[in-house]
Structure 1
Amino acid sequence: MMTIIRVIWDDEENGNVGHIAEHGYSIEEVEHVLSDFHYEGVSKSSGYPFVIGFLPDGRRVGVAFIRIDEISVLPVTAFDADNYKN
């Protein structure tokens, strides 16, 4: 299982903060999933790696990201993973 120590956020006009918020998730929620996930995969549609984890309220969330280096990722999007079959 990979280790993520640093999450890179871009709060500019077309950055990942706004894009993830459009999907109904916060920075804190995405960072929670990235720090405590139970599944890793690669998106068939985008080719991005992603992880799936649970939020404290029980929602199952996926986070797709770009790996920057061994410890850093830039989240691309977050999605409801309740129906994701792994």
Structure 2
Amino acid sequence: MAIEFFWVFEPGENVDHIREHDPEPEDIEYAYATADEFTISRSSGRPAFYGFARDGRDIFVVYEEIDSTMWYVVTAYPISEVR
């Protein structure tokens, strides 16, 4: 299924938040394309997935489904621990 990500580039919104943890929107889109596990975030209860950023880092992405084809990324960050 093709998913579109809803990015808000205004200060304090989701793009600013994920950049605090280093990934860029393009990393999230690439991670979705390479996702190897879909799960639920233990801390928020929101849907999430593991994938690879463009530079090969393993990242964890937490999102909200706006509808069946559009997702709003809540947070994303590189992970170093073994899953």
Given the two structures, how large is their TM-score scaled by the length of structure 2? 0.89
Count of residue correspondences: 83
Gaps of 5+ in 2: none
Report Cα offsets for 1:29-85 as digits up to 9, x if no partner: 111112220001101111111110122432111110001111110001111223152
Paired residue secondary structure (2:10): coil
Paired residue secondary structure (1:11): coil
Percent identity over paired residues: 33
Residue number in structure 1 paired with 2:57: 59
Query: Residues 15, 26 of structure 1: CA spacing in aligned structure 2 closer, same or farther, 3 A cutoff?
Result: same
Q: Distance in 2 between matches of 1:40 and 1:80?
A: 16
Gaps of 5+ in 1: none
1:83 pairs with 2:76 = no
Paired residue secondary structure (2:59): strand
Paired residue secondary structure (1:34): helix
Q: Distance in 2 between matches of 1:78 and 1:9?
A: 13
Asked whether the 8 Å contact 2:23–2:78 carries over to 1, the reply is no
Match among 40, 43, 68 for residue 42 of structure 1: 40
Residue number in structure 2 paired with 1:69: 67
